[in-house]
Structure 1
């Protein structure tokens, strides 16, 4: 049996599995609740990842047939689809932009309250100047208040929409104001906005420090891939890895390297602060 036959068979098996996954994602709409917390959503395979995996499978098939590296059928798709995810920066910029929007909205609400408006009127009035990152959440808050929701339930729903510990701090102060109806809420919100601004500055500094090891890991990975490619094509240094046990050892070494990248990414991502305001969406409406 020529080596082309098992290579084509393995490639067709992997391509078939990828096609089944892509077809199921298009044809079977999964029922989803009306509102779910963002951090509880199951990760989904993007179309870009599937395309990269398919391209990697094609590259791996060519390498396996031409050079005899059968391990490329597994390594090439995993590398092309997984390395961009592991070496890319997490989406921290979005969360920082939302924090800045919360700070701006809190200052705007404090200004409206200073003019003598009531809490409900002030919350609805801030819709006109709501920052874009949190405009949908403020729009839903105003709609709930106009629909005669109680102020407390509407604020708790806002906390669930914002889905952030800082949003919970804002909601907690608004809940206290809704219950006690005392003076001084504007000054409290101004002080809270200053605290959010300090939090934004701290997160930017932390993210700048985290970007340095990510850049180092990215360059080390690219240099390693380049060196291994050159050695595999031109040198005898990797000749022992052409055998069956050698290719299994190569997979084990690459798996350890990927595990290190995953560990570094988890360390750089961090854990978001725990929330303390809000309740499940099914129990929000009175």
Structure 2
């Protein structure tokens, strides 16, 4: 398949691959197909066996542990990238977490601790990554994160992640403004519902998938490969004018009532 853009000579960091079926994996595949060199992270040793085959198939240069909850680990990732590469051209942030007991209840019932943890892992970590990535993007670059329609509208059973993703999308706008004079653009990819391991924590997610499919104009869910092609475009200089925007990758689901 002909790549949508040419990322030859560019280097990117992909944070959030859980396995071959994750959105981050689809994006990484598109980046690699377009010619980019990649560094990939894995959450912990338990997750590594699921991520390593994906990284090897992509021919990634660096495979690094990254749990944003562990003090110093995120900084260590960027230290390694800085040591091994002359620069960083793009970053994909595709991580989210909320304690199950807080996620599977109404927003008014979630705990302060659960809300704070979800916000830290799912939103503030992107701000931290932007701060660490900016000095490495000496020739400009692209910062991308993954959101969902539930940031803008109430989605049944999405609960706590709705306000968290809304905060993430707002952060993208402010990061884009903060870093504009450095030639760095920031984007939120609002991905359509995809059956991933991360999404399995949402109560009755299979029912949500059916509802989304029924409401999508084409009657078809978006694939991780399709989301990846949009991410590859945003990683290129051609995507720069879209900075600060929420880009919907959902086969038009967001346009329906």
Higher-Rg member (1/2): 1
More strand by share: 2
Same fold by TM (over 0.5)? no
Normalization by structure 2: what TM-score?
Answer: 0.23
Normalization by structure 1: what TM-score?
Answer: 0.22
More helix by share: 1
